[in-house]
Amino acid sequence: MNIASVNLIYFSPTGTSKKVVQAIGREIGGHHVKEFDLTPSVYPDLECKHFEDELTIIGVPVYKGRLPLDVLTRLKRIKTQNALVVVVAVYGNREFDDALLELKDLSLELGFTPIAAAAFIGEHSYSTDSKPLAKDRPDEADISKVKQFAKEIAAKIQKIDNAIIEELTVPGNHPYKISPNAPVIAPTTLVENCSLCGVCSDVCPVGVIEVGKMVMTDAEACIWCCACVKACPEDARIFDDPIILDVRTKLASNCKIRKEPEFFI
């Protein structure tokens, strides 16, 4: 089967899912790659795209063992018919639980035919210099594994002509894990460091930060993604609510052992 081009669709507040998906795209598609970044609060509408005769790669982070809710809303605009898709979940070295299964199920619901899946590791959104969690991942070793993954995908696509594509099996359970209700907290701003540059507001995927004479965050609608924390050029945005400090400490002690990317083809 011939693939005309490769589409990359990703939601990636702190950039690790984007890095992984772009690396896969480069390996498979070379220069014939189109990108649809669903991260900004004003995101591209994919309703009119169809993706047939192309390979689509969808990459998203794992939040509490599931897909971020905003990813569901943004992806659900797509309607396609049997277009081939590779689904990729990126997680912070704890677990990906049911997220990859949920993404595979969602891709089927949108009309895609999933041919491969992967779980990669990205620096945890809550990682700090003093409590590093999967720091700087995906790293060179992760990206070198992309080559192997891409080879296996290409080999599978070669065989697809006239062959029935068997349903892809990925880890996870039905019903999916239930995420506990999140308390109403959000990153805050250290006034003494902040120059009111507005980067935090620009990068917020859900548009809940307003910068005027001070930085105002609508904590009710914050998704805790930490895009604002990682992007702040003055280290003025911090997420140090006691609940997050506790999570960070537990992750740092329970998830020390390096996990490796896994492929399902």
DSSP state of 66: B
Residue 175: is the preceding peptide bond cis (ω within 30°)? yes
* Residue in 94, 104, 145, 156 binding ligand FMN, rule: CB under 6 A: 94
Is residue 64 near ligand FMN by the rule CB under 6 A? yes
CA nearest 90: which of 69, 118, 70? 118
Is residue 95 near ligand FMN by the rule CB under 6 A? yes
* Residue in 91, 112, 149, 239 binding ligand FMN, rule: CB under 6 A: 91
- Candidate ranges 50-58, 89-97, 108-116, 152-160; the one touching ligand FMN (CB under 6 A): 89-97
Instruction: Kindly write out the interface string for residues 109-148 of this chain, putting x where it contacts ligand FMN by CB under 6 A and - elsewhere.
Output: -------------xxxx-----------------------
Measured from the CB of residue 124, what is the shortest distance to ligand FMN in angstroms? Answer: 4
Is residue 101 near ligand FMN by the rule CB under 6 A? no
In the bound state with ligand FMN, the residue whose beta carbon lies nearer, of 83 and 126, is 126
Residue least distant from ligand FMN (Cβ): 122
Residue 167 buriedness (CB in 10 A; 0-12 / 13-18 / 19+):
exposed
b/e sequence 171-201, b meaning 16+ C-beta within 10 Å? ebeeebeeeeeeeeebbbbeeeebeeeebbb
- H/E run at residue 23: helix 16-29
Is residue 248 near ligand FMN by the rule CB under 6 A? no
Is residue 62 near ligand FMN by the rule CB under 6 A? yes
Quickly tell me which residue has 């049911």 as its tokens: 98
* Residue in 157, 199, 225, 228 binding ligand FMN, rule: CB under 6 A: 225
Residues in the chain: 265
Sign of the C-alpha dihedral computed for residues 157, 163, 167 and 170 taken in this order: negative
For residue 143, give Cα distances in angstroms to 23, 35, 55, 149, 260.
7, 19, 20, 10, 11
Measured from the CB of residue 129, what is the shortest distance to ligand FMN in angstroms? Answer: 16
Helix/strand/coil for 58: strand
Is residue 239 near ligand FMN by the rule CB under 6 A? no
Is residue 205 near ligand FMN by the rule CB under 6 A? no
Cα separation, 86 vs 103, whole angstroms: 10
* Residue in 27, 29, 38, 61 binding ligand FMN, rule: CB under 6 A: 61
Is residue 100 near ligand FMN by the rule CB under 6 A? no
Is residue 38 near ligand FMN by the rule CB under 6 A? no
Residues that bind ligand FMN (CB under 6 A): 12-17, 61-65, 90-95, 122-125, 224-226
